[in-house]
Structure 1
Amino acid sequence: MFTRIRRRALTLAFATGLLTAQVVTMGASPAAAAPQDCERGANGFVDIPDTLRGAQAPVAPVSIFGRTATLYVGSVRGVTRGWAHLGGDTLWGDSVWMDWTQNGGRTWLQCGPFEVSSGGQTKTSAAQRASSDANWQFRACLRWGRHDPPHVRCTAWW
């Protein structure tokens, strides 16, 4: 009897562990993407100058050690679009990207990273059209240098 109870308890614990592992690994994650997946018109993105700024989207910028990622929105080629911008005390190796979701953040495409090649340089992601669809959202992310583990911060979704 004791062995049967212990066996059931171990089986339950093992099953719970597997379920927990599945939930963690099946959580929201980005699609595998590289800068070329959102440059030169890929996936509806358009290239913009690294100095372009628009109106700050209604989410707070994020900062790490003097570098700041801001999500901007503005007119690009006559269309309202969103993009990520990295500025501040940047150094070689800092990078910025924009995550774009069409399902409220359950999955997303990571547009970038776009890396700074010299200190003090600003950098932007490519720009994607905005939408009134509540599931169509963006966030700006930055990575400080090439550290391991990485120092990464992202804005809230907008």
Structure 2
Amino acid sequence: MIRSRRGRTTTAIVAATVLLAFPSSSGAVPAGPAGDRPIDCRDWPRPDPLTVRNVKPVYSTASGKWAGEANVTLWRGDAGPRGEWHYWATLTGRTRPGDAVWLDVWPPGGGPWHRCGPFPVARDGQKVASPMAVWRDFTLVKACARHNDSGACGRDKGAMVD
């Protein structure tokens, strides 16, 4: 409650949004079609073949921009105790230091895109993956990567539509 000079009482509502940044190990913001808003995803679960069930690729860029070189894949799996779908991105193939993968997520109620990552490649041929986003927290997801100094993202994917 705020009291004005004239003795009237009004109610003031103050809202604030905090967007936590995820520090990349390289410190560089990836170029390309990814969103410019980092999101703190350090506590999101990592894809684990022992705990994620019903894993399947949603889409892959195997025949796209880097055909025969690198492949960006958006994966879906059941990783929650309540059967919740989780989505994550991987970069595989002839990767090299300087390459990276990240997951773009679109929050419920509207955008812009938020970026979980980037997660850099440390050595030649290394497979890298983003943490998993839970479908109920985001309405769209897409897998993105940087390879040979160029960025690319797969198509947007509604989390409940396959």
Q: Once the 2 structures are TM-superposed, how far is the Cα of residue 105 of structure 1 from its aligned partner?
A: 6.9
| Identity fraction in percent | 26
- Cα distance per residue 1:92-122 (max 9 Å; x no partner): 1110000000258741210000001001110
Moved more, 98-107 or 77-86: 98-107
Matching of residue 115 in structure 1 with residue 120 in structure 2: yes
* Count of matched residue pairs: 117
Bigger-Rg structure (1/2): 1
**For 1:58-77, what aligned pairs fall within 5 Å after superposition?**
59-61=59-61, 62-64=64-66, 66-77=69-80
Unaligned runs of 5+ residues in structure 2 are 1-32, 158-162
SS in 1 for 2:155: coil
**Is the 2:34–2:153 Cα contact (8 Å) retained in structure 1?**
no
Unaligned runs of 5+ residues in structure 1 are 1-27
Partner residue of 2:103? 98
- Cα distance per residue 1:116-139 (max 9 Å; x no partner): 1001110101101114x9x70100
**Is the 2:34–2:115 Cα contact (8 Å) retained in structure 1?**
no
- TM-score, normalization: structure 1? 0.63
Q: Give me the whole-angstrom Cα distance separating, in 1, the residues matched to 2:93 and 2:48.
A: 17
Partner residue of 1:155? 154
**Is the 1:49–1:124 Cα contact (8 Å) retained in structure 2?**
no
RMSD: 3.0
Which amino acid in the other structure matches residue 128 of structure 1?
A
Matching of residue 56 in structure 1 with residue 57 in structure 2: yes
Q: Give me the whole-angstrom Cα distance separating, in 1, the residues matched to 2:109 and 2:88.
A: 17
Q: Give me the whole-angstrom Cα distance separating, in 2, the residues matched to 1:75 and 1:49.
A: 11
Q: Once the 2 structures are TM-superposed, how far is the Cα of residue 32 of structure 1 from its aligned partner?
A: 2.8
**Is the 1:88–1:122 Cα contact (8 Å) retained in structure 2?**
yes
Partner residue of 1:23? none
